[in-house]
Structure 1
Amino acid sequence: MADKLGILGFGKLGTVLGQLAVRAGYDVYIAGSGTPDKIALTADILLPQAHLMLAKELLGQVDVVILAFPLGKYRTLDPLLFKNKIVIDAMNYWWETDGQHPEFQDPVLSTSEMVQAHLNQSHVVKAFNHMGYHDLLDYADQSDPKKAIAVAADDIPSRAVVA
């Protein structure tokens, strides 16, 4: 198990995943869409244990990183910064946030396959995208056998790390 976890995105999902990761014993590194000072006050209250930094700095610290931001922004990522990293794709297409993107509605190619093609030197694993952030937080401390997080990837070792 990796002892460090990076999270790109400090919205509701990124915050909840950060809180759960800290509870699980991870050293959490988090970056929002701007400079760390833009999220510092919120982080001090909701996730004071996290290390706030720029995305580029974060990627130099971790081998596993969660993408928890609007899917329409994945193309802004520099693939070289993700080389050999396990990338957990927690993104979903929400046209209300992402705008209209017909390519995200293509039934032949999944959005994670698009992310993998863009981050072609990383190992993309799909997880944390099918349960709402509030449910993730509410059910994390319960042993309800009816709740589970699906993990999907072509790369078996990376999938095992994420699981």
Structure 2
Amino acid sequence: MTTIGILGAGKLGTVLARLAVGAGHEVLVAGSGDPAKIRLIVQVLIPGAAAVSAAEAAARSDIVVLALPLGKYQTVPVEELRGKLVIDAMNYWWEVDGVRDDLGSSSALVQAFLPDSRVVKAFNHMGYHDLDESGRPAGTAGRKAIAIAGDDADALAATAALVESFGFDAVIAGSLSDGVRMEPGTPLFGANEDAATVREMLAAA
């Protein structure tokens, strides 16, 4: 059993935590402050998960998923994430994060802030409703796919295994900088498609 930390208790974080519990993982969920603020939400919406602080989730987990607004990425516990696999599920929205002309891949920005972590981009292009409802057993015809991007082969393999355990096929999109092909404004963003179609959409981007 892998321990999964979810930093972010909003809609996406809640769905990912529920998928992780359903896959048999130990799940720790952290909001932006005192764990007591989200304890009841976690108990009701994510039975089997535990509400903890961000620092505790990062320290205790094998894999940590960032499901925060991108503008809050500098609030994550850097020291506790040292050496960890960090999955970046965040997206840049100019309406929320302000106009940023300096951005290439937003995940590269996160990697620069977490130089001693292994960052992989995943779970950012599919809507949370589709994530919640589309997971299927391996081998199911038409099974939906999640694109992942990263620079570390072992981190990509671990992320792919997590994606598969959630009920989706994993499609490697390339390096972390190639994650721009799955961000808002690309053909893939918002798509809920099978692996072959996801590969076509990545190629089109």
TM-score, normalised with respect to structure 1? 0.90
Q: Residues 60, 146 of structure 1: CA spacing in aligned structure 2 closer, same or farther, 3 A cutoff?
A: closer
Q: Does the C-alpha gap of structure 1 residues 144 and 32 become closer, same or farther in structure 2, counting only changes over 3 Å?
A: farther
2:127 corresponds to which residue? 132
Gaps of 5+ in 1: none
Q: Aligned-pair distance for 1:144? A: 4.9
* 1:77 CA displacement: 2.5
State the AA in 1 paired with 2:113: H
Aligned Cα RMSD in Å? Answer: 1.5
SS in 1 for 2:13: helix
In 1: Cα distance, 2:115 partner to 2:44 partner: 36
Report the secondary structure of 1:81's partner residue. Answer: coil
Task: Give, as a single letter, the amino acid of the residue that structure 1 aligns with 2:88.
Answer: D
Q: 2:151 maps to which residue?
A: 154
Counting matched residue pairs gives 158
Stretch of structure 1 that moved more, 127-136 or 93-102 = 93-102
Q: Unaligned regions of 5+ residues in structure 2, if any? A: 161-205
Letter in 1 for 2:151: D
Looking at both structures, which has the greater relative contact order when contacts are Cα pairs under 8 Å and sequence separation is at least 6? 1
Percentage of identical aligned residues: 52
1:100-130 CA distance string (max 9 Å, x none): 33333xxxx3111111011000000000000
CA 1:144/1:90 → structure 2, altered by over 3 Å: closer, same or farther?
farther
Confirm or deny: 8 A CA contact 2:54 2:76 kept in the other structure: no
Counterpart for residue 85 of structure 1: 84
Instruction: Tell me which amino acid in the other structure corresponds to 2:125.
Output: H
CA distance in 1, matches of 2:111, 2:88: 9
Please give the alpha-carbon distance, in whole angstroms, between the structure 2 residues aligned to 1:66 and 1:115.
12
